Amino acid sequence: MTELMAMFVGICAAIVMGIVHHYALSGILKFSPQRSDGSGFRIILTFSALLLLHVLELVTLAVFNTMVVASVLPQSFSNSPPMFQDVLYVTGISFSTLGYSSIEVVGPFRLLLMLQSLLGFMLLTWSATFLYSACQQVWQKAKDD
């Protein structure tokens, strides 16, 4: 897999994950209580749903990365072949935009992880804005009462 192909695959995966994230946020909004009593239940419910959503996204990306490494880029890790927990760790570090790791990745896989880091930043900030909106509604209701 060339660098250009890795970029293309990464962009396609990011678009798919963005679409899934959009519909997941729509589902959270649909099923969360719209009228808040000011108790904060809506905040806790939204936070918990977002946490589960991000863990699911992270595991999905790790499975995707494992398949890419196993089938197309077997020499992507300095300690080849990597175990799933190594791929999950590297994916999580990239997704959370921390970007450091004791596991070295090489070749075109680095570009794929770079795009997943950008995706993680976008999804996490999107979710943070979504959570903040839920908090604002609860806090405004508590302030008005």
Q: How far is CA 129 from the centre of its chain?
A: 15
106: left (phi over 0), alpha (psi -120 to 50) or beta: beta
Higher pLDDT, 59 or 107: 59
C-alpha–C-alpha distance, residues 17 and 14, integer Å: 5
Q: Shortest CA distance to 48 belongs to which of 28, 75, 21, 30?
A: 28
**Residue 77 has what DSSP assignment?**
B
C-alpha–C-alpha distance, residues 100 and 56, integer Å: 22
Q: Average pLDDT of 51-75?
A: 90
How large is the angle between the packed helices 41-71 and 109-144, nearest 10 degrees? 170
The CATH class, in words, for 41-144 is mainly alpha
Query: pTM score, two decimals?
Result: 0.86
- What tokens were used for 84? 């799933």
Q: Where are the domains of the chain?
A: 41-144
Residue 16 has pLDDT above 90, yes or no: yes
Place of tokens 């990011």: 14
Higher pLDDT, 74 or 64: 64
Residue 62 has a pLDDT of 95
